[in-house]
């Protein structure tokens, strides 16, 4: 059964497996093409491409950029980006730096709450410049402060939780512009995050399309059948591309597997053609 997976994280950001291991799992799930979409970094792409060539899996260079939307976030995926583009890499470096600005403030709050963690420990565990809250969650787990990443987010790290600190984020239009400047296609990730009515989401997507958005991630590990249908409908009405992926992270999202999400995800191979066409038109 052939399928694709256009949303995967590796150890280059907050995933717990290196690109080679993610590709191996993809092969086992029958994935024929995938995109590495690490947060704010493209470092995992060359390894993924090498291994993909060996395993016969097409690797699409991607990235995921968080942007500010009211009090929340919209994540924008970039596909078929020119990952060596100097300007894109400068932008991504700025975003990674804003993480180093925020994370120590989260650690400070955790310390005030009586949890003994240091940013050095988090950075050592992360082993990458794109350090995220899931890395902090893993350190909290390793020290026995929480039993799971979910508990770490619920109690401390989620928006509104005890140690939450917002991060300086670009506007969605900026993230979209950066991706397009690197000749990529910009796609709205996991629309389930958008706390709007169906009509509100439609209007948002319409606005983002005006700012250069090319598609919507209709298929996603946690989307219900009803959500998938709703997002598909919006994509059709706005003539936006349809994409999909698992958002695999390994350890911090232990219920999500490469290619199949929670078991029921199937992103059709047929979505790849139109995406490619849009990227190379």
**Site for ligand AMP, rule CB under 6 A:** 14, 39, 66, 132-134, 149-150, 153, 249, 252-253
Nearer to Zn ion (CB atom), residue 137 or residue 213: 137
Minimum distance from residue 46 beta carbon to ligand AMP (Å) = 23
Q: Tell whether residue 14 is a contact of Zn ion (CB under 5 A).
A: yes
Q: Are strands 31-36 and 3-8 parallel, antiparallel or unpaired?
A: parallel
Q: Which stretch binds Zn ion (CB under 5 A): 13-21, 23-31, 112-120, 221-229?
A: 13-21
Q: How are strands ordered across the β-sheet holding 215-220?
A: 3-8, 31-36, 58-69, 72-79, 185-188, 215-220, 241-245
Minimum distance from residue 149 beta carbon to Zn ion (Å) = 10
Nearer to Fe ion (CB atom), residue 43 or residue 145: 43
Q: Which stretch binds Zn ion (CB under 5 A): 11-19, 80-88, 146-154, 257-265?
A: 11-19
Nearer to ligand AMP (CB atom), residue 187 or residue 272: 187
Q: Is 75 buried (19+), middle (13-18) or exposed (0-12) by CB count in 10 A? A: buried
Q: Which residue has the tokens 């995109």?
A: 35
Nearer to ligand AMP (CB atom), residue 16 or residue 66: 66
Q: Which stretch binds Fe ion (CB under 5 A): 20-28, 195-203, 246-254, 255-263?
A: 246-254
Minimum distance from residue 221 beta carbon to ligand AMP (Å) = 11
Nearer to ligand AMP (CB atom), residue 99 or residue 209: 99
Q: Which stretch binds Fe ion (CB under 5 A): 26-34, 121-129, 188-196, 225-233?
A: 188-196
CA 137 to chain centre: 17
Q: Tell whether residue 38 is a contact of Zn ion (CB under 5 A).
A: no
Picked from Fe ion, ligand AMP, Zn ion, none, the partner binding residue 133 (CB below 5 to 8 A depending on kind) is ligand AMP
Picked from ligand AMP, Zn ion, Fe ion, none, the partner binding residue 5 (CB below 5 to 8 A depending on kind) is none
Q: Tell whether residue 133 is a contact of Fe ion (CB under 5 A).
A: no
Nearer to ligand AMP (CB atom), residue 51 or residue 169: 169
Picked from ligand AMP, Zn ion, Fe ion, none, the partner binding residue 252 (CB below 5 to 8 A depending on kind) is ligand AMP
């Amino acid at each position: 059964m052939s399928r694709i997976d256009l949303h995967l994280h590796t150890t280059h950001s907050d995933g717990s497996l290196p690109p080679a291991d993610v590709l191996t799992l993809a092969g086992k799930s029958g994935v024929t093409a995938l995109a590495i979409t690490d947060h704010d970094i493209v470092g995992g792409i060359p390894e993924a491409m090498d291994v993909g060539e060996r395993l016969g899996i097409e690797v699409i260079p991607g990235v995921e950029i968080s942007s500010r939307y009211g009090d929340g976030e919209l994540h924008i995926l970039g596909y078929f980006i020119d990952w060596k583009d100097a300007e894109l890499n400068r932008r991504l470096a700025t975003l990674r730096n804003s993480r180093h600005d925020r994370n120590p403030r989260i650690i400070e709050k955790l310390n005030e709450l009586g949890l003994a963690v240091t940013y050095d420990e988090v950075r050592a565990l992360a082993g990458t410049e794109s350090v995220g809250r899931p890395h902090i969650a893993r350190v909290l787990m390793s020290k026995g402060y929480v039993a799971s990443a979910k508990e770490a987010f619920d109690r401390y790290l989620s928006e509104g939780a005890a140690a939450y600190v917002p991060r300086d984020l670009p506007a969605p239009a900026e993230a979209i512009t950066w991706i397009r400047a690197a000749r990529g296609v910009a796609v709205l990730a996991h629309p389930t995050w958008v706390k709007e009515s169906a009509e509100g989401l439609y209007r948002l997507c319409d606005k983002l399309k005006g700012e250069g958005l090319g598609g919507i991630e209709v298929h996603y590990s946690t989307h219900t059948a009803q959500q998938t249908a709703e997002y598909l409908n919006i994509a059709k009405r706005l003539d936006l591309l349809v994409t999909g992926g698992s958002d695999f992270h390994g350890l911090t999202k232990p219920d999500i597997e490469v290619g199949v999400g929670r078991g029921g995800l199937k992103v059709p191979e047929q979505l790849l053609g139109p995406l490619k066409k849009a990227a190379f038109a």
